[in-house]
Amino acid sequence: MATHRPKLVLNAAAYTAVDKAESEPAQAERLNSGLPAQLAGYAAAMGAYLVHYSTDYVYPGYGESAWHERSDTQPLSVYGKTKLAGDEAVMYSGCQHLIFRTSWVYAARGKNFLKSMLTLGRERDSLAVVNDQIGAPTPARLIALVTLHAWQQRIASGVYHLAPTGTTSWHGFASEIFKQAEEAGVTLSISSGQVSGIPTEEYPTPATRPLNSRLALNKLETALGITMPHWKDQLALTLQEHLEPLT
């Protein structure tokens, strides 16, 4: 940082192994809290601009109302607690910053839910997926586009929610993946109707997941003068990107 002296810092690094964080809290703290604090310190000292990506896991995850940026935070897991600590380090550093809290991130590349479902859909003719956790699947492509617009428009420092409109469960997301993949000509062993839903309690994990990951988008939409797209439309674009050969 001292050598290159960037004026814009995008912090997309994080410890995102939610369950493993329960047994590796020090490693999660280092990436999710310590690193943002260091970057924010640099930004404050050098007059740089810091964009930091966060998560719906900072909220308590109960109820059915969408969380607002001003909602009380109460993370349920080590991952959520360390991400909140990172947010607060950036907020109180005095640097110019944008903190984007997003949910259920996936992409055309890398390891994520979309690619896992497509792999399983080729191997299995039935599948059970959690149906009582509700949120908005958010593709990395949308996060990148919104970040660009926010930087170009120099919106005010603060916390913003970044996700598509509409909500679904993981079961609904998986079913829509299979439906759109079939329509795109992908050969699968499973159909969208062969995905059954199960409650979270039937799929225990080391880390507690929030049942309510709904995020209010009013603040971001007002700041940018836009309406965020629907998650199904974003899935179609991301699936198309995944199916296109790399050039």
φ, ψ of residue 100 in degrees (nearest 5) = -100, 110
Q: Where are the domains of the chain?
A: 8-240
| Beta carbons within 10 angstroms of residue 119's beta carbon | 10
Check if the beta carbon of residue 99 is closer than 8 Å to that of residue 159: yes
Q: How far apart are CA 99 and CA 160, in angstroms?
A: 6
pTM value > 0.95: no
> pLDDT 10s per residue in the chain (247 long)?
889 999 999 999 999 999 999 999 999 999 999 999 999 999 999 999 999 999 999 999 999 999 999 999 999 999 999 999 999 999 999 999 999 999 999 999 989 999 999 999 999 888 999 999 999 999 999 999 999 999 999 999 999 999 999 999 999 999 999 999 999 988 888 887 889 999 999 988 999 999 999 999 999 999 999 999 999 999 999 999 999 875 4
Specify the fold of 8-240.
Answer: Rossmann fold (3.40.50)
Check if the beta carbon of residue 135 is closer than 8 Å to that of residue 173: no
The 8-class DSSP code of residue 83 comes to H
Q: How far apart are CA 202 and CA 77, in angstroms?
A: 19
User: Quick one: which H or E segment has residue 54?
Assistant: strand 49-55
Active site residues: 79
* DSSP per residue, 200-237: GGGS--SSPPPSB--B--HHHHHHHT--PPBHHHHHHH
- Distances from the Cα of 246 to the Cα of 108, 115, 184, 234, angstroms: 11, 15, 18, 20
- Distances from the Cα of 90 to the Cα of 38, 75, 174, 247, angstroms: 9, 18, 35, 37
